[in-house]
Amino acid sequence: MGYNMKRTEYIGFCCLLACVIFLSFSCSASYLNHSFLEGPYDVGQDVTADCIKCHSEQAADMLNSTHWLWTTCAECGCEEARLMELGKRTVINNFCVALASNEPRCTSCHTGYGWEDKTFDFSNASNIDCVVCHETTGTYKKIPTGAGAVDPSVDLLAVARSVGSPSRLTCGGNCHFFGGGGDNVKHGDMSSALYDPSRELDVHMGGMDFQCQNCHKTTAHNVAGRFAGIPGSECRVECSDCHGDTPHQGEYSDRLNGHSDSIACQTCHIPSFAREVPTKMYWDWSKAGQDVDTIPVDEYGKATYNMMKGEFVWGMNVVPTYAWFNGSFEKYYLGDKIDPQGVTDLSTPLGDRYDANSKIYPFKIHRAKQISDAQYQYLLIPDLFGGEDSYWATYDWDRAVRAGMDYVGMPYSGEYEFVETTYYESINHEVAPKEYALACKDCHLDGGNMDFAALGYEGDPMIYGERAISGKELEKIEAMDSAIDGAAQESAQPTPGFELLVGLAGLFAAAFIGKCKRR
């Protein structure tokens, strides 16, 4: 009897210990004790030198990562050999146009130090910035125009001692939330609101405290997922990675799961983007250079003009544009011809309703007016920052594009004009709780969100084509909408997380031990 009691107490103690260990490692940004570091650290590279002493293998992995190379292809490979050297550092966009000739400003977001021009050595591990992703103090920052140099106000010793797992604060606050030159300017679904979001804004980050790497799994410092504006095929992140291909349950699961064959999860579960922080929807570079007395402000409190950048239109709570997408994009590359009378697409999702690999996805379309060569009919790269001929130093477009095109080794005719462009960006964050997902009537019938003609249909597929239905079925769908709305209201409260269940198991183990001791 005494042996059995001791054995039972031992088992209960082990259960309690396992729960405590699990909970300690499930915190949002696991802290790893580096208090043994002594410094002193004058510059970021001094911290990196200490990191590499223990983590040389990780440094070697980093040198082959997308975050370091700013090219598409690393761990996951390329779909075409021609894409091997293409990526963020080589493509053209319609925000700040291009990295080339503007490196000291653009590379303040790079996971490294000293990328000042095209001579940067990507094989030099001493220039890796480890702490930009791994610090946990929330105090780390770089000089915006310093090619990744650390701001002198940063206590590098405190930052180095704090290192732990990446978090929304490091991934977003140090980079992705501020792409394009400001909070939520570029992406539309990634902003400072995701530091500490509500469940209503993002059910994963707000409802379950997901960090970026919960979805963006990492292997050898290559992070799964990719920005829509970058060419090639890299490790894609899919909702089905966790939820499977038939995620819906209940009375109408067959109909809803049937939609999963042709409609991406994001389409229904992100009904709008930029729900808390406005995003830039239009950027007119041709208006730049005007010294206006009073800066106009829109209904969201955002400035709609900047002398350095031109005129803007902001959007908030924006309904996405929907398009077929098979995972690949048609990209504009330097030297490609433009449409001088129309609109040139810089990043267009590929796919159609007859492509078995395509689904309907939500997108933000950023529209712009940017500079092009009037004679050669291709887009131009202006030197915006840094050089004596740069636009922000001279406000002279001719000098700026002459310097920029000389930098990339492309001819400039001496004649320029501004043309309209579009840039598709995929929407994947700000996933709403299920009670706020789109219902049938939000897409179908009169006034729905879907432009079915643009998607290749004669009309609403519930009435025409593959999904034609009878009047009786229509009544059933309307009843289904009402039933789903009612069930959604009942399920509006968040479900207890897995950590809570583990905690309850720990309490049960503790109570069990106490009971054994009283015997």
Per-residue model confidence as pLDDT tens digits over 114-144: 999 999 999 999 999 999 999 999 999 999 9
Indicate whether 513 pLDDT > 50. no
Q: Report the pLDDT averaged over residues 332-345.
A: 93
**What's the CA gap between 183 and 307, in Å, rounded?**
19
Query: Parallel, antiparallel, or unpaired for β 359-373 and 279-284?
Result: parallel
What pLDDT sits at residue 462? Answer: 82
What pLDDT sits at residue 386? Answer: 82
What's the pLDDT band for 290 if we cut at 50, 70, 90? very high
**What's the CA gap between 104 and 94, in Å, rounded?**
19
Q: Give the list of residues 6+ apart from residue 377 with CB closer than 8 angstroms, or none.
A: 337, 338, 340
Q: Tell me how crowded residue 442 is: count the other CB atoms within 10 A of its CB.
A: 16
pTM of the model: 0.83
CB 323 within 8 A of CB 349: yes
Structure tokens at 409: 């080794």
Domain ranges (residues) in the chain: 2-30+497-518, 31-227, 279-428, 436-490
Indicate whether 19 pLDDT > 70. no
What pLDDT sits at residue 406? Answer: 97
Q: Report the pLDDT averaged over residues 374-396.
A: 96
Q: 56 or 225: whose pLDDT is higher?
A: 56
Percent of the chain whose predicted confidence (pLDDT) is above 90 = 65
What's the pLDDT band for 149 if we cut at 50, 70, 90? very high
Kindly state the helix (H) or strand (E) to which residue 474 belongs, with its residue range. Answer: helix 471-490
How would DSSP label each residue in 91-129?
Answer: ---SSS--STT-HHHHGGGSSBS---STT--TT-GGGB-
Structure tokens at 25: 């490692």
What's the pLDDT band for 446 if we cut at 50, 70, 90? confident
The contacts found for 43-47 with CB under 8 angstroms, 24 or more apart, are 43/113, 43/149, 43/150, 43/156, 44/113, 44/129, 44/131, 44/148, 44/149, 44/150, 44/156, 45/113, 45/126, 45/127, 46/156, 47/130, 47/131, 47/156, 47/159, 47/160
**What's the CA gap between 197 and 71, in Å, rounded?**
31
* 164 φ/ψ angles, rounded to the nearest 5 degrees: -160, -155
Lowest mean pLDDT among 1-15, 171-185, 313-327, 490-504: 490-504
Q: Report the pLDDT averaged over residues 22-37.
A: 60
Indicate whether 358 pLDDT > 60. yes
Q: Give the list of residues 6+ apart from residue 282 with CB closer than 8 angstroms, or none.
A: 312, 313, 366, 367, 368
CB 425 within 8 A of CB 123: no
What pLDDT sits at residue 91? Answer: 86
Query: Parallel, antiparallel, or unpaired for β 310-315 and 279-284?
Result: antiparallel
Kindly state the helix (H) or strand (E) to which residue 346 belongs, with its residue range. Answer: strand 343-349
What pLDDT sits at residue 226? Answer: 72
Residue linked to tokens 């501004």: 418
What pLDDT sits at residue 502? Answer: 43
What pLDDT sits at residue 251? Answer: 87
**Mean of pLDDT over the chain:** 85
Amino acid code (one letter) for 213: Q
Task: State which of 67-81, 305-319, 459-473 shows the largest mean pLDDT.
Answer: 305-319
What pLDDT sits at residue 128? Answer: 98
Structure tokens at 402: 């002459």
Q: Report the pLDDT averaged over residues 341-362.
A: 94
Q: Tell me how crowded residue 414 is: count the other CB atoms within 10 A of its CB.
A: 11
What's the pLDDT band for 465 if we cut at 50, 70, 90? low
233-246 tens-digit pLDDT: 447 788 999 999 99
CA-nearest of 245, 257, 270, 262 to 321 is: 270
CB 368 within 8 A of CB 281: no
Indicate whether 80 pLDDT > 70. no
Task: State which of 77-86, 339-348, 372-381 shows the largest mean pLDDT.
Answer: 372-381
Indicate whether 334 pLDDT > 90. yes
Indicate whether 405 pLDDT > 50. yes
Kindly state the helix (H) or strand (E) to which residue 418 belongs, with its residue range. Answer: strand 416-426
Q: Report the pLDDT averaged over residues 54-68.
A: 93
Q: Report the pLDDT averaged over residues 331-337.
A: 93
Indicate whether 31 pLDDT > 90. no
Lowest mean pLDDT among 4-18, 323-337, 378-392, 421-435: 4-18
